Amino acid sequence: MKNLSLLIIGLLFITAITSCNNSGEITSTHAEGLVEEYLVLNPHYETAYFETNKMRLTSKRDADLIEAIRDLEDQGLIEIVDENSRKKWFSKDSVFVITPSLTKEALPYVVKQAKNRTEVKTVEYELDDSRDILFTRKTDKSVSFNAILLKKKTPFYSFGKDKNPNSEFITKEFKAKYIEEKGWVLVR
């Protein structure tokens, strides 16, 4: 029994020593952990402005915008205040005068708010766990690597301009330094 407990303590000690990476080596899983921690503290996203003042929309010219606003209203993210619609004589085109206002459900997507417009998130990025980190430059004290970030479209996606509309992901370069007291730390 005493030998078994000494063996278990010895294995735990060896495991603790080998898991503490004091040599300055960085692995793909360690780099993924650094990126995940960074994205929690500094989320990566794209934004656009959502107008919250009175808007005059025509059903032909602004059909896509009207559809996007109705989708947001159906999801409970906005309320339409002062809705007024009228039809022009001898025309198939209707005119809508609306004032959209954001609800509490839109709060996770709001970045900055002004009097007549609000900056909202259109695309949020999260780390792709299924792919390994690609190291581009690696030394004992610094490393550069690329991580793949997946796009997650928000309900306000149609109000922004997608920087990469033809892909569902982006690659982002990160740099890390090895500091004796802290270990590996992302610097950018």
Mean pLDDT (10-residue bins), the chain, 188 residues: 48 40 73 91 93 88 90 93 67 80 94 92 91 84 91 93 89 90 86
Instruction: List strand residue ranges (DSSP E) for the chain, in order.
Output: 45-51, 55-58, 78-87, 94-102, 110-113, 117-127, 134-138, 142-153, 169-179, 183-186
Q: Which pLDDT does position 16 carry in this prediction?
A: 39
Q: State the pLDDT at residue 153.
A: 94
User: Alpha-carbon torsion 26, 32, 33, 36, what sign?
Assistant: positive
pLDDT of 14 reads: 41
pLDDT score for 10: 45
User: What phi and psi, each to the nearest 5 degrees, are found at residue 159?
Assistant: -90, -5
- Give the pLDDT of residue 49: 95
Q: What is the pLDDT of residue 139?
A: 82
Predicted local distance difference test score (pLDDT) of residue 15: 38
In the chain, where are the structural domains located? 22-186
Residue 69 is predicted with a pLDDT of: 92
